[in-house]
Amino acid sequence: MTPDARKRLLDGLGLVDWRMRPDRLAAAPTAPADHAPALREPAPPATDPQPDVAPAASSAGEPAAAATAPDHDTQTVAPNPSVDAPAPAAAQAPAEPAAPAQASDVSRMDWDELEAWLATRDHRGASRPVFGIGARDADVLIVGEAPGANEDAQGVPFVGRAGKLLDRMLFAIGCSRDTNVYITNICKFRPPNNRDPNADEVAADWPVLERQIELMDPKLVVAVGRVAAQTLLDSTQSLGKLRGTLHRYPRRELDVLVTYHPAFLLRSPGQKAKAWADLKQIARRIASA
C-alpha cells in the first residue's frame, strides 16, 4: 500500500499512523471533526456537545447495545423475508413484452417508479421515506439498518455523525456516495423511538431493497451493523461471527461483506483497527471486481 493510501485509510478511521506519533512528529494528523449528532438519537440537536460515548461492555469482542442510542449490533433480527419467499416474479415469468409497471408490481419498477411508490407507503410515524443516495450504477452497495432522526429530517441515509464517519471510511478506500457507491438501509422509514426495526417493518420494506439490488446489480454489498448483516444474510449469528469472511447473498451472484456500524465505532473507537481490516478487505474485493 502506498503511503498516501495508508494515510487516507487511517484518516478515514480517525487513526494515527504509528509512524507519525507525536513523539515522532510535532503535530500528528487528526481526523476531521464530527459536527452532527450521534446516530439514532431521539432528536437532532444543532451540534453534538458529547464526546464519543464510552464503549459498551462486550462479552465476545463484539458490539454491545449502548444505553441511549442502540447500535443494534447484538440482538437477533427478523429473518430475511426473501429466503423462504418464492423467486421473484420476473425470474419465473415467461419472457413477455414489457408492460407498464402496476402500482404494486415492485419487481418491474424502475428507480424513479420505485422511489415514488415508496413515498405512497405507510410512513409508520416517520416524517418521510429515506430511499437511498449515491451512484445507482455503482459496483458497491452499502446497506445500513434504518434512518435515524437526522435521516428522517433530511430524507437521506447516513447524514448524522455516524454517516460522516462512514463517508470518511469510504473515502479511505477511494469510495464516495458522490461517485462510486450507493447507500441505503434495510428499513426505509425511521422506526418509532429509535428502536430496532421489527419483523413487520423489515418485511414491508424488503421488496424495495430487493428491487434496488436488482436494478443496481452491484458486485458487492457491504452490510454495516448487525441488523443489516443478519437481515441480508438471513442469519442469527452475531456480527463478530459474520464479519471477516466473504458471504454469498441468498439467491444471487453477489458477495456480501459485513462490518461494524459506524455508530458503534464512534462509541467503541478501540474497534477501529478491526474496521480498518474490514475496509482493506472491501478494497481488495472492489479491486478484483
* Interacting residue ranges for ligand URA, rule: CB under 6 A: 39, 144-148, 151, 157-158, 162-163, 185, 225
Bridge partners (DSSP) listed for residue 259? 224
In the bound complex, what is the minimum distance in angstroms from residue 39's beta carbon to ligand URA? 5
In the bound complex, what is the minimum distance in angstroms from residue 133's beta carbon to ligand URA? 9
Q: Which is nearer to ligand URA, 197 or 207 (CB)?
A: 197
In the bound complex, what is the minimum distance in angstroms from residue 184's beta carbon to ligand URA? 8
Q: What is the 3-state secondary structure (H, E, C) of the chain?
A: CCHHHHHHHHHHHCCCCHHHCCCCCCCCCCCCCCCCCCCCCCCCCCCCCCCCCCCCCCCCCCCCCCCCCCCCCCCCCCCCHHHHCCCCHHHHCCCCCCCCCCCCCHHHCCHHHHHHHHHHCCCCCCCCCCCCEECCCCCEEEEECCCCHHHHHHCCCCCCHHHHHHHHHHHHCCCCCCCCEEEEECCCCCCHHHCCCCHHHHHHHHHHHHHHHHHHCCCEEEEECHHHHHHHHCCCCCHHHHCCCCEECCCCCCEEEEECCHHHHHHCHHHHHHHHHHHHHHHHHHHCC
In the bound complex, what is the minimum distance in angstroms from residue 287's beta carbon to ligand URA? 26
What is the CB-side half-sphere exposure of residue 272 using CA atoms within 13 A?
Answer: 20
In the bound complex, what is the minimum distance in angstroms from residue 26's beta carbon to ligand URA? 37
Q: Which is nearer to ligand URA, 158 or 249 (CB)?
A: 158
| Residue number closest to ligand URA, CB atom | 144
Q: Which is nearer to ligand URA, 157 or 207 (CB)?
A: 157
Q: Which is nearer to ligand URA, 9 or 227 (CB)?
A: 227
In the bound complex, what is the minimum distance in angstroms from residue 98's beta carbon to ligand URA? 33
What is d(CA 148, CA 130) in angstroms, rounded to the nearest whole number? Answer: 10
Q: Which is nearer to ligand URA, 108 or 128 (CB)?
A: 128
Q: Which is nearer to ligand URA, 12 or 148 (CB)?
A: 148
Contact 248, 254 (CB under 8 A): yes
Place of cell 413477455: 96
In the bound complex, what is the minimum distance in angstroms from residue 67's beta carbon to ligand URA? 17
Q: Which is nearer to ligand URA, 10 or 39 (CB)?
A: 39
